[in-house]
Every structure is written in structure tokens, then in C-alpha cells.
Structure 1
Amino acid sequence: MTVSFHAGAVPGRHGAVPIRTYTLDESPRGTRTPLVWLHGGAFAYGGLDQPESHAPAMSAAATGRTIVTVDYRLVGPWNPFFDVKDSSLTGIRFPIPFDDVLDVITAVAGEAPRGHILLGGASAGACLAAAAARDLAQRRSASVRGLVLAYGTFHAQLPAIPAELRSRMRGRHWFSQFRPATVRRMNHNYAGSVAAMQDPRAFPGGHDLTGLPDTLMLDADRDSLRASGGAFAEELRRAGVPLRYEVVPETPHGFLNRPGTPGYDAGVRIMTDWLGGR
């Protein structure tokens, strides 16, 4: 079986949005719900060639499903030293990447069987996916029929880190963690202002999640961002959203960015199993 991919673009409100479409050559076209997949990179890094974008798309397409990856606009210029009390940042900021994602969803759903898609992403891409799905649900659109969220950051500020998670971050694992101040700066860099950080279209955590579709959440075992993932999972449960929540053992943040590792293999196995016949 051979997976092929080709480049394309979707017209968007901020200009063309590059995409890459993956298909299994031997699979009948148009019979399964396509998956739109969003890479991570702190909202400021990454692209279609990033392993976190390309490798999961190849793995998922090998099951016979069309996958569309999205080169949403990255925020910038990066400004890592500002005080979050600053009122605003110039350049590319929210909602531009969010709008790019919505424009691709609209285009892919318009060509999909029954107008339905699946949506997913990793890290910052998981936040964008969850925010887009929430926005569509609030507008009573049924275009997104399932969510796959891998080690995402969903809240404007990192929630308190539980004691169990702190125990998994000790020793050498501590040096690679996202500190609360780092998350705050990253999120403000994306949102562009303190006020925008409170917009549920930027960070859906802590807001009404009613109506979101069936969701698979994958979190990394030794990752401070699991504080956000775990809190978001609990918010989904309280909202009545059907949820499968898995913590992949012995994994750091970004395990889908490391194809060929046990964490990547485990994560993709769970992901393709859940996608199943959807």
C-alpha cells in the first residue's frame, strides 16, 4: 500500500492557506470522513514538513482515510521578553491562524461525504482544533464529527500542576518542561493582548464546551502541559462530551514529533484505533 500526498491551497479571508492532502492509492476515494490535522509549535513554529504534521498524516492515511494538513499562518514577530501586562502586540496574531483553520474546515467539509470532517491537532494545533470545533458547535454547525487532541494547551494560563504530575516531572525530566511563565508568554504572544487571551476562540479551556463532538485526548506522561489537558478533559466530561482520555506512558511533550519512537507508535496506534470506522 502506498500513501501519496500533494500540495494545494484553500482561499482564505487572509489569503491562500497552503494544505497538503494525503491519500492511500489503493483506497476508494470519498468513502470515509476526512481528517483535518494541525501541527504544533507554540503557534509560532512548524509547517507541513514538520514530523508532527507529516508523520501522523502518513500513518493515518495508510488506513484508507484522506488526511489534510494545514499550513496556518504562524504568529510573529516572536516577542519572548514582554510583560503580559502589555496591552497589545503587532504583527500576525489571533485570530488570523484561527481564521485560517476555519477556512480550511469549510473548504474540506464542502467536498466531504455528507459535509462531515474529523478534526485534530497536536500541542498548539490541538488548541486551534478544539477552539474551532467549539466555535462551530456554538454556531450549531455539525461539520466536525470527531476531535483528536494530542498534548494540547487549552487554557490562557497553565492550570495548577497536580501532585501526581509533578512526581512524573522530577529529575532530568524537569529541564524540558513548560513553566507557567513560559506558557503565559507563549499564549500572550499568540493572542496579542491580555483581553484576547480570554476569548474562547483563542483558548477554549474554562469556557462552555457543550456540543463538542466525540473526542479522543492523548496526553504525554511527563509533560507539564498535561495540567491543561487533564483540566480540559474534566471540562469536556462535565459538558457531557463523549470522551476517551489516554496518558501515553513514559512520554515527553511532542511524542508525535518523534516518529520511530515507542511513544509515537503508541500514540498513533491509539489514534488510528479510535478513528476506526468514523
Structure 2
Amino acid sequence: MAQYDSIEEVTALATMHPEFAQPLQDQTITIPMRDAYGNEARVFKPQIRSASRAPLVALVYGGGLMSGTNLQFAPIARAIAAELGAVVVTLSHRLAPECKFPQQSEDIWDNVQWLSQNAHTIGADPSAAFVLGGGSAGANLCAVTAHRAAREKLSPPLTGLWTAIPVFLAEQTAPLKNRPLHISLSQNADAPGFNTETVRFCLSTYGPDISSEATTPFNAMDTFPQMVPTYIQVAELDPLRDDGLVYARALRDHRVPTRVDVSPGVPHGFHVTFPNFDISQKFNRDTVAGFRWLLGLAAGQGGSQDDFSLEFAISSA
């Protein structure tokens, strides 16, 4: 048994446990907006890669457009970087009520444009793959940005989109044939934690123009045929559930490759509020599997640490 009375024994105590060590780099950068404001972003990437062309993933947090930080998706970012070998950037935008519509949408567009031209500075190659994704209000910002990217021919283009528990105002703006299928606002009006009243409060604070393409992708129907493969996650007890399902139907109507996962019997944001629940862990594993699909990777392909623990990465913020 060690007595810890030699310099060698004491020095060895600073060796990091292999289950705790993650082969990732984590850095903070500032991305300039059109008005010279600097939005902070965090970059997560593997230290060692088997290939030089690292795909790029950009993530946008939720929070009703009034709260949230770029650390919200840090656990998922770490998992995607370690498991799939991507460079992952968690983006920021300015918040309501200090900044109202369409500032948040413009900020994400400026972030994405900057990444398309400067990704090489963080070791990523968007021409290999360029996936944009977010949760809740962040999913809205990502979807309207993806449709704008199609219209304005972003180069290199986006190659995939992830929308988790998204808000799209499908009750008012979706194609008429799909509106009868949007019942979740009334069905889940009194859902625990996040209900229909909460949805309306967030929208009133943000102040969107309901007719604008910066508010919902359903105001840009002509861009649907140009949309990229999309992965959508919804929760059964969420008043926003049918926003995601109606969006999926609209994408499929235009033959866009679309994948949907529904979490049964749980409310909006359950995976954040109750991260240790089994269904929350499944949601997070599904998320990483969805990104594997969006990046075009087969099982077993990706980063340098095949046995990376998703449970550890996702539950540690």
C-alpha cells in the first residue's frame, strides 16, 4: 500500500481518471453581428480526429427567447463532438424583452453566415456537413434560418436540421389541410410546468409579426422543396407537440427526408427539468442518434472514443 511519502507517489495523485477525462477541446469565441455587437459562442471539438474534414454542428438554446445561455446544450455538444467527431458550436442571441422581434432571428442568421465563411478558424469544414439545430424557441430560430438559408443560397449550404420540441405557430400559420391536426394547444392547455398560457406569454413578450418569414417556416412555403433532411423531437404532453408534427407533415409533403421521435406521456422540456429520468436519458440518446443520421454516419462511425459514456456527457452540465 502506498504511504504517499515519496515525490513519485504524491505526483501520481494528479493523474486524471480515464472515466472523467474527455478528449475534447472547449473554447469561447465571439461572433460579430451586423451592428458590430459580439455574440459569445462556445466551441467543442475532439482533440484528435481520424479525418481532417470535421463536420460542423451549430446549436441554439431554448428559453422562450427571453432566457438561456450557450451552455444549455453543452452536454449534448460534448456528446456529439466525442461520439461523432464533429466540431460543435453553441450559439448565442440577444434576449427579449430588451431586444424584440426580429433581433433574435437576425442574430442567428448572422451567426450562421459567419460560421459558413470562418469555420476553418475553429477546425471545421461546413462543406463536409453543416447541421443546425435547437430546442423550443431555439428550434424556431433554427428552422426559420434554415428556410432563409435555402432562399438566400447560403454557401456552403446547410445539410441538416434538428428541431426539438419546436414552436412554429402551426395553429395559425400551417397549411389549411393540416390545421385540424393541431390540437395540442387545447389538449395540453394545463400541462405541468409549461402550458398554453406560458406559450402565449412568451410570444407576447417577444412580439413577433405573425406574417413574417422570420416568425415561422410556414410563412415560407415556397422554400419547403429545398429543405434539408430534418430530425424532429416532440413530447406528448407538450402544448407545442403538434407544431413539430405538422411541420414534419409539411416537409414530407415536399419529399424532404424527415425523422420524428415522440416522447410518451411527458411535458415540454422534461429532459431539462428531470435530467435523471430514464425517459430523459432516452431523449438525449435519441438526440445523438438523430445527429448521427443527419451527419450521414453509420453506427460505429464518428469520433475517436467509441466507448464514450453518453449518460455522463449528457447529465454533466
Bin the TM-score by the shorter chain.
Answer: 0.7 to 0.9
Kindly provide the amino acid, as one letter, of the partner of residue 55 in structure 2: T
Q: Of residues 196, 218, 222 in structure 2, which corresponds to 1:205?
A: 218
Does 1:230 find its partner at 2:245? yes
Are 1:108 and 1:117, in contact at CA under 8 Å, matched by a contact in 2?
A: no
Deviates more, 1:138-147 or 1:239-248: 138-147
Match of residue 21 from structure 1: 43
Please show how residues 59-138 of structure 1 align to structure 2 within 5 Å.
59-63=79-83, 64-77=85-98, 92-110=99-117, 111=119, 112-113=124-125, 115=127, 116-138=129-151
Kindly provide the amino acid, as one letter, of the partner of residue 161 in structure 2: L
Secondary structure of 1:231's counterpart equals: helix
Q: CA, structure 1 residues 34+255, in 2 after alignment: closer, same or farther (shift >3 Å)?
A: farther
Q: CA, structure 1 residues 45+140, in 2 after alignment: closer, same or farther (shift >3 Å)?
A: same
| 1:119-164 superposed Cα distances (whole Å, 9 cap, x missing partner) | 0000000000000000111123352100011001012757667568
RMSD: 2.6
Query: Which entry has the higher C-alpha Rg, 1 or 2?
Result: 2
Please show how residues 159-238 of structure 1 align to structure 2 within 5 Å.
169=188, 174-179=191-196, 181-190=197-206, 192=207, 196-205=209-218, 207-208=220-221, 209-238=224-253
1:166: how far off? Answer: 7.0
1:220: how far off? Answer: 1.1
Please give the alpha-carbon distance, in whole angstroms, between the structure 1 residues aligned to 2:250 and 2:219.
Answer: 7
| 1:236-257 superposed Cα distances (whole Å, 9 cap, x missing partner) | 1122221001102333211342
Q: CA, structure 1 residues 223+5, in 2 after alignment: closer, same or farther (shift >3 Å)?
A: same
Does 1:32 find its partner at 2:50? no
Secondary structure of 1:246's counterpart equals: strand
Please give the alpha-carbon distance, in whole angstroms, between the structure 2 residues aligned to 1:165 and 1:157.
Answer: 8
Kindly provide the amino acid, as one letter, of the partner of residue 269 in structure 2: G
Please give the alpha-carbon distance, in whole angstroms, between the structure 1 residues aligned to 2:271 and 2:157.
Answer: 26
Secondary structure of 2:288's counterpart equals: helix
Please give the alpha-carbon distance, in whole angstroms, between the structure 2 residues aligned to 1:275 and 1:269.
Answer: 10
Secondary structure of 1:154's counterpart equals: coil
Query: What is the TM-score when the length of structure 1 is the normalising length?
Result: 0.81
Q: CA, structure 1 residues 118+24, in 2 after alignment: closer, same or farther (shift >3 Å)?
A: same
1:47: how far off? Answer: 0.5
Q: CA, structure 1 residues 74+68, in 2 after alignment: closer, same or farther (shift >3 Å)?
A: same
| 1:63-91 superposed Cα distances (whole Å, 9 cap, x missing partner) | 121110011111214xxxxxxxxxxxxxx
Unmatched runs of 5 consecutive residues or more in structure 1: 78-91
| 1:15-67 superposed Cα distances (whole Å, 9 cap, x missing partner) | 111100011223357523111000000011110233xx222112212212111
Does 1:145 find its partner at 2:159? yes
Does 1:9 find its partner at 2:30? yes
Does 1:48 find its partner at 2:63? no
1:93: how far off? Answer: 1.2
Are 2:170 and 2:182, in contact at CA under 8 Å, matched by a contact in 1?
A: no
Unmatched runs of 5 consecutive residues or more in structure 2: 1-21, 173-178, 297-317
Please give the alpha-carbon distance, in whole angstroms, between the structure 1 residues aligned to 2:132 and 2:277.
Answer: 24
Q: CA, structure 1 residues 199+21, in 2 after alignment: closer, same or farther (shift >3 Å)?
A: same
Query: What is the TM-score when the length of structure 2 is the normalising length?
Result: 0.72
